[in-house]
Structure 1
């Protein structure tokens, strides 16, 4: 059975949203400032990483790491400049 889970974080003045659609082949979609900038699929409950850029000057590369399971999906925003991991808050919609 497929379910959609949404996550969000504001980073460096930009909105990063992630949708994780669970099921046999989980799908991860990443939006930056409302525009789709990356997506990936994985198998079963394996974590997946999606590299995107924030539209700063110069562009800031970041990585979204989504874990579809087991249990509830989780998402982290990993900043490449300092190596910090930021937990993305789940959204109810």
Structure 2
């Protein structure tokens, strides 16, 4: 059975949203300011690190780490300066 989990964070003035769809094959979608910027189908490990560009001046690349563990997916945003990862808050829909 497929289930969708949503996560969100505001970073450097931009909205970063992630949807993790679990089930037989897990899918991760990343949106920046409402536009899809990354999508991946997860393999057996069910983890992904996706580089995402933020439209700052100059552009900034951050990394979204998604884990699609059964029952409890998690998402972190890793800043470009490799600082401490930021926990993306789950959003009910």
**C-alpha displacement of 1:44:** 4.4
Q: Deviations for 1:22-75, whole angstroms, at most 9, x for unmatched residues?
A: 011100000000000111111245211111110000101001000000431000
Task: Report if aligned partners of 2:22, 2:70 keep a CA contact under 8 Å in 1.
Answer: no
Identify unmatched segments of 5+ residues in structure 1: none
Report what 2:5 is aligned to.
Answer: 5
Task: Report if aligned partners of 1:26, 1:45 keep a CA contact under 8 Å in 2.
Answer: no
| TM-score, scaled to structure 2 | 0.93
Report what 1:47 is aligned to.
Answer: 47
Secondary structure in structure 1 of the residue aligned to 2:66:
strand
Report what 1:86 is aligned to.
Answer: 86
Distance 1:44-1:68 versus aligned 2 partners, 3 A rule: same
Task: Report if aligned partners of 1:8, 1:18 keep a CA contact under 8 Å in 2.
Answer: yes
Count of matched residue pairs: 93
CA RMSD in angstroms, aligned pairs only: 1.2
**C-alpha displacement of 1:9:** 0.1
